[in-house]
Structure 1
Amino acid sequence: MSRARSETREVMVQRDVRVPMRDGITLSADVYRPRSEEKVPAIVVRTPYGKTSDEIDATARFFASRGYGVVYMDVRGRGDSDGEFVPYRNEGRDGYDSIEWAAAQPWCSGAVGTMGASYLARIQWLAALHHPPHLKAMISIVSPSDPFVEWPTGVPTPHHLCWLYMTSGRVMQNVDVIDWERIYWHLPLETMDELTGKSLPHWREEIRHPQLDDWWKEICYQDRFHELDLPVLHISGWYDDEQVGTPLNYMGMVRHAATERARRSQKLIMGPWPHRINRSTRLGEIDFGPESVIDLLGYQLRWFDYWLKGKENGIMDEPPVRIFVMGENRWREEEDWPLPDTRWTRYYLRSGGRANSRFGDGRLCTDPPAEGEAPFDRFRYDPADPVPYITEMTSAQIGGPDDYSAVERRDDVLVYTTPPLEEDLEVTGPVRMELFASTSARDTDFMAKLLDVWPNGFAQRLTDGMVRGRFRKGMDRPELLEPGRVYRFEIDLWNTSHVFKKGHRIRVEIASSAFPKYDRNLNTGAPLGRSTDMEVAEQTVYHSKQYPSAIILPVISR
């Protein structure tokens, strides 16, 4: 992706421009635009993280010097904007009012686009559902999903408390002065906020809604793509801790957008990046090579030049999907997602009955279990001693291509591994697990993780997912488990694009905790988030002819 070439212009900036909302509240915006009388398209970016950083200033000047009016705005209740910050609840209406305000400015041509990452991406979708007439295109980067898509637990994740603390008040709070590791262990979850030194009412409000109800549905968007008629550029990374939303949004718009024009006007870019995308070739111990960092800003400029200025720059003639294939470390263009030539291949869990730890006898095979083999593996899940999830303690980035070989020494982790591969194997697309299991508990969790085991033993996490037993039928239909009964659990492991190299091995881990990525299931079946009582659960994972547990991998022919 080469940088879009365009003539740059002198930029003028107006600080703290007051933008009125329909209820009389005014929000604060900094407006960057070319110093000329020419009418230009507007780009609206609304943020809870403060609009005065060096990075924001550089991005705004980049677009303004190339013929755009860039409106960077503090959302309601944050920074210099009036009102109270209530995450997501006002962003649809405020987004509409901000877009239409920008379109009405004397310097604006009437065409408006929106862009932004993370919170800034999701609130674009919420604004778009209000149908501002001048909104012509969006750039949605690392967008969070609807409630419970990323964390199907019924309660907010421990790291979410860190985010709520960081965005409490009007200015960014320093999360580095808090001992988050100590806080995440606190029970009950409902009062965890007290340990930060301040009350966080939004945390407690979310705890009070431990399933998908009308309170949550008010801020959902992923079931409403059929209402939208917009071109969208979707961007994320394989190690984005909110990655699942971006491919879902792309597929949702391609298949369900309101018009054929919109369905054909979607683009997807997936790189080897964490939540803060496209900043380094290296993530953890993995270097993805010089091609992994691209001129993404230039590509976004081409997107807006086409949709807001009508420039025929060829961007819509290019294939709609651009992915970085890890392991091989190269970019590739595709016509759809998932890839049309995907071979959905089952890798079955098998063992002699002792798959506990990486020193056990767990195997991963394309042949289904046969009669006479050991039909199950067992382990004990103790919420007081959960399986660790390797991550930093703040909400900035949860997990990466980390080495789980040490974690796999635990007996409460079942490990299933292929023999060394005789040739390269590409896995690109959504990954899911069909797990047959029973438990002694009324409620418990099952986690699945896909890893690439290098010849030197490095066990690289690729992607993972979980299911909470009471929500096996859906986040809106909790139902406790019957102890001892065998259930079929479906686990969404999100997406990846990775080549397992010759001599490497494919591995799957099964456990009942991944702490602190997810809160610990206390195994009692009590109301979520309000209890301190816990029980040890006796877990059984089945892999028999009757109960053929398997991970389904999207294998691509080489």
Structure 2
Amino acid sequence: MRRLGHLFATRLCLCFTGLVVGAAASQAAEPKANLTTMVPMKDGTRLATDVYLPTTGGPQWPVRLVRTPYGRVNYNREYGAKAERGYAMVVQDMRGRFDSEGKDLAFIDCGWGHNQDGLDTVKWILAQSWCNGKIGTEGASAMGITQCMLAPTDPPGVVAQYIIVAAPSLYHHASYVSGALRAVLVDGWLTGGGFDPDNVWLTCLHPFSDGHWHDLNSIAQAPRIKLPAVHFGGWYDVFLQGTIDGFVSRHNDGGPGAKGKQKLIVGPWGHGGPKADSGLPKPMGELTYPPNSLKTPFPCGGDAWFDFYLKGIDTGVEKVPAVQYYTMGAVGEEDAPGNEWQTADNWPVPAEPTPFYLHADRGLSRKAPETANGRQVFTYDPLDPAPTRGGCLLLSWSEYGTKRKVTSGTYDQRDIEQRPDVITFTTEPLAESLEVTGRLTARLFVVSDRIDTDFAVKLTDVYPDGRSLNVADGLARCRYRKGFDRLTPLEPGQPAEIEVDLWSTSMVFNKGHRIRVAVTGSNYPRFDVNPNTGWP
């Protein structure tokens, strides 16, 4: 079995140059906050905050802080109950959310800008009589993003973070990918979550990676970050690449205390992390991974992490490998390779970047085409986009055009591949198994009769029975091919080179399977539909 670091494309049109998150809520009595108060920020805005204190010990304890846009009272069981582990638990509504004052401009006031709500909250905690001077931050999704925004402010007293399924750069990992708006994520989350409508306008009015987004990009602030952290994510999580990039930036470029002190955990999960029913994994789309997928071989949960950093208890987390990642494999095939945890000292893992080439006969192989003149043609209609089915998603919805229920994960793509605007390239059955671990990139040489268009690329694992199951996907908006801070229109009829980022994966294609690459002009509503006009 060979490990490949990247799947590249070139020529023709394309060639490919023991942990469970969020412990179950206790069935004991509902935890009650010892203190509910309005914490003042430096501009006078007050944020609703609950404090849960242990019933034993004291009078001072280490503190674990959670800042949320989802209503702090909804987390009394998950976080309030942890006070009995000897922590003062602080749970706060973000600015403008639920009982907090102010305008809720999502995450804008959480970081190092004019308002610094996270930092102000930390300073308030340090001044309280029940705080022993040590603080940790934790939480998933939006609560992970608030941690990313806090870290570059060098918050006093904060000694560790536990960041679960978060986006450290809100342009690159959340709102836009390769210049394309993540339509269902942005609109669905902001509108469905009842956020101020100005949030949608702010996102849509800033399609470039400009100053607005620079202030929401903690990756670029890595040298200022001094905190050890766990970065926990899933191969089918909506913020997958953000989890990896957050780890890489801090582990390699972080400041003292952060550099070399990060942990990365990636499993075969979606945004909710590993999910089980009666101890057995739940399906991830149309596949159910083995029970070993539910927990890492080296435990590194939040309680153990904070027991070490906040209490000085040797829980073993410092000795845990820097990277634990699950290599997926064929499901339902006896003795299939993969479906196992692997470890590494850093990311990306050592691998051999290997190109696969597209051929004019729609073949896909490691042999380069003998001629560069081959081509495939399709017509993209913005009024009839190819639908999203599975992948790295946050929300579930009825599939465009079919009303089929769609969530994150792996699904059979065959009927989508039969559309006339989808071109597929497929290998012969593999003579031996092949591991692909790392970042995936498709390099396309394209010609369009419009000044702008999109190219969507999907990598699938074709089983012997014909099922074509998605592994990774991405989309590139051509006008951003030379940078996300500028417009570079296509010249109709003239060739252009673009790259499509499919993010990352770790997957073993089993012997007898085929590898397939599908190319089309859309992936809706994962990404917004491009009208091909060059704007918006």
Q: TM-score, normalised by structure 2?
A: 0.85
Secondary structure of 2:50 counterpart: strand
In structure 2, how many angstroms separate the alpha carbons of the residues matched to 1:113 and 1:423? 47
Aligned equivalent of 1:48: 69
Distance 1:504 1:377, change over 3 A: same
AA matched with 1:143 = A
The one-letter amino acid paired with 1:335 is D
1:13-24 map, 5 Å:
13-14=33-34, 16-24=36-44
Asked if 2 retains the 8 angstrom alpha-carbon contact of 1:154 and 1:475, the reply is no
Dislocated runs of 4+, deviation >6 Å: 8-12, 295-298
Q: Percent identity?
A: 35
AA aligned opposite 2:47: L
Displacement of 1:153 after TM fit? 2.7
Partner of 1:537: none
Q: Secondary structure of the residue that 1:284 maps to in structure 2? A: coil
One-letter amino acid matched to 1:444:
T
Corresponding residue of 1:388: 387
Task: Give the superposition deviation at 1:377.
Answer: 0.8
The answer for the alignment partner of 2:198 in structure 1 is 201
Q: Deviations over 1:11-34 (max 9, x none)?
A: 763253322211222211222221
SS for the counterpart of 1:244 is: helix
Partner AA of 2:42 in structure 1? R
**Matched-pair contact (CA < 8 Å) for 2:180–2:475:** no
User: Secondary structure at the residue paired with 1:434?
Assistant: strand
Instruction: List alignment gaps of at least 5 residues for structure 2.
Output: 1-17, 21-25, 330-337, 397-406
Q: Secondary structure at the match of 1:251?
A: helix
Structure 1 counterpart of 2:366: 366
One-letter amino acid of the counterpart of residue 441, structure 1: R
Q: Which residue is 2:94 aligned to? A: 75
Secondary structure in structure 2 of the residue aligned to 1:13 = coil
Identify which of 231, 239, 249 aligns with 2:246: 249
Q: Tell me, yes or no, if the aligned pair for 1:156 and 1:207 is still in contact at 8 Å.
A: no
Q: What's 1:441 paired with?
A: 450
Match of 1:477 in 2: 486
Alignment of 1:267 with 2:263, yes or no, is yes
Letter in 2 for 1:333: T
Contact 2:391–2:470 under 8 Å retained in 1: no
Q: The residue matched to 2:85 in structure 1 has which SS?
A: coil
Displacement of 1:167 after TM fit?
2.6
Amino acid at match of 2:412: D
Aligned to 2:333: none
Aligned match of 2:289:
288
- Residues 148 and 218 in structure 2, CA contact (< 8 A), matched pair in contact too: yes
Whole-angstrom distance in 2 between the partners of 1:220 and 1:279: 30
Q: Aligned-pair RMSD on alpha carbons?
A: 2.4
Q: CA offsets per residue over residues 221-270 of structure 1, 9 Å max, x none?
A: 211101111101000000001211011111111221122x4211100000
- Structure 2 distance, partners of 1:476, 1:374, is 33
Instruction: Work out the CA distance in 2 between the residues paired with 1:492 and 1:394.
Output: 16
**Structure 1 residue ranges without an equivalent (≥5):** 170-198, 353-361, 529-558
Give the aligned partner of residue 315 of structure 1.
Answer: 317
Q: How do residues 37-436 of structure 1 correspond to structure 2 at under 5 angstroms?
A: 37-38=57-58, 39-53=60-74, 56-92=75-111, 93-150=116-173, 151-153=177-179, 155=181, 157-168=183-194, 200-259=197-256, 261-280=257-276, 281=281, 282-294=283-295, 299-327=301-329, 328-340=338-350, 342-352=351-361, 362-371=362-371, 375-390=374-389, 395-396=394-395, 399-436=408-445
SS of the equivalent of 1:485 reads: coil
Distance (Å, rounded) in 1 between the aligned partners of 2:299 and 2:367: 46
Which shows bigger deviation, 209-218 or 433-442? Answer: 209-218
Cα drift, residue 159 of structure 1 = 3.2
TM-score, length-normalised on structure 1?
0.82
Match of 2:15 in 1: none
- Supply the distance in 2 between the matched residues of 1:368 and 1:297 (Cα, whole angstroms): 44
Question: 2:236 touches 2:392 (CA, 8 Å); kept in 1?
Answer: no
Q: Does structure 1 conserve the Cα–Cα contact (< 8 Å) formed by 2:363 and 2:427?
A: yes
| CA distance in 2 between partners of 1:486 and 1:95 (Å) | 48
SS of 2:153's partner is coil
What is the DSSP-based 3-state SS (H/G/I as helix, E as strand, rest coil) of the residue aligned with 1:304?
helix
Partner SS, residue 102 of structure 1: helix
Q: Does 1:514 align with 2:534?
A: no
The code of the aligned residue for 2:67 comes to R
Equivalent pairs counted in the alignment come to 480
Residue type matched to 2:324 in 1? R
Supply the AA of the counterpart residue of 2:66: V
SS in 1 for 2:161: strand
C-alpha separation between the residues in 2 aligned to 1:503 and 1:524?
44
Partner SS for 1:287: coil
- Between the aligned partners of 1:85 and 1:519, the Cα distance in structure 2 is 25
